[in-house]
Amino acid sequence: MKVKVLSDSSCDLLSDEKMGFSSVPFNITTNEKNYVDDQNLDVEAMINDFKKYKGRSTTACPGVGLWLNEMDGADEIYIITMTSGISGTFNSASIAKEMYLEEHSNAKIAIFDTLSTAAEETLVVEKVLELIKTSNTFEENCKIIEDYIKHTRLFFTLESIKNFAQNGRVSKAVASLVSILGITIFGTASHEGTLEPISKCMKYKQALKSLIENLNEAGFDGGKVIITHVKNENKALLVKDEILKHFPTSEIKIYKARGLCSYYAELGGILIGVECKNEYEKIFKNH
């Protein structure tokens, strides 16, 4: 029996055939170039291009055909997507699921909308990759994953949300924050899977303080943590040290953001995915 785990490229992990994992790419497009967010993308070069680029740019979620290709004759398929609150990726994976089932009526496919991105999506994918190694049934795994997603959170610090605002993926009120230079926005993925600012900070120390307060409120007590950074390993290490200072039993991994998240979280951005004790309500509006 063939099992596959699929996710879009807002997850930090690259395709890994041995693990049965495929990453399906977003596209990032400027007037000059198209960047395909797959294993061949030179993320650093893309970030450098964007430092100089002044024109417009957009992104596009993976099309139905790309999802279908990666389903690849599998009998059991787990699909983990970034938030349906700001992207069409969940929708396009859902259409691919229906089409695949028409041809493979005995296959089992489950799609999980993380209502989040990057570090939190990566936590979920890593959980699924662990689960498929157990002797659990598909249905048992799906229950565990659904419950897991209710207990993961995403926090972030961003130095710019210009690309977010330019693409109309935040409200006007949030977009207005972009005009203020030199501040860090500390925020979280909302219940609906949108960007929710919590505070504006002049110093990174304030953002770290907010993070620890929010982790306590979320019932975090030292579980697994993933930190995704956009060319900012120093700050990722700072965040790691601060979390360990307050929650010494945390298991923390640091990953580099891939193309899509580097584009939206922008240079310096940090995304923190955590496992929490408290349930966080996830409101799925678009499906």
264 binds ligand X90 (CB under 6 A): yes
For residues 23 and 16, what is the distance between their CA atoms, to the nearest angstrom?
8
**Counts for the chain of helices (H) and strands (E), in that order:** 10, 13
Q: Which of residues 202-241 bind ligand X90 (CB under 6 A)?
A: none
20 binds ligand X90 (CB under 6 A): no
CB 162 within 8 A of CB 262: no
User: Which residue among 68, 183, 189, 236 contacts ligand X90 (CB under 6 A)?
Assistant: 189
DSSP readout, 124-185? HHHHHHHHTTSS--HHHHHHHHHHHHHTEEEEEEES--HHHHHTT-S-HHHHGGGGSTT-EE
Q: Which of 16-24, 56-64, 216-224, 238-246 is the region at the interface with ligand X90 (rule: CB under 6 A)?
A: 56-64
For residues 224 and 32, what is the distance between their CA atoms, to the nearest angstrom?
40
User: Which residue among 111, 183, 265, 270 contacts ligand X90 (CB under 6 A)?
Assistant: 265
User: Which residue among 74, 79, 195, 207 contacts ligand X90 (CB under 6 A)?
Assistant: 195
Q: Which of 156, 247 has the CB closer to ligand X90?
A: 156
24 binds ligand X90 (CB under 6 A): no
CB 116 within 8 A of CB 148: no
CB of 89 to ligand X90, least distance (A): 6
The residues that touch ligand X90, with contacts defined as CB under 6 A, are: 10, 26, 59-61, 83, 86-89, 116-118, 156, 158, 169, 189, 193-195, 260-261, 264-265, 271
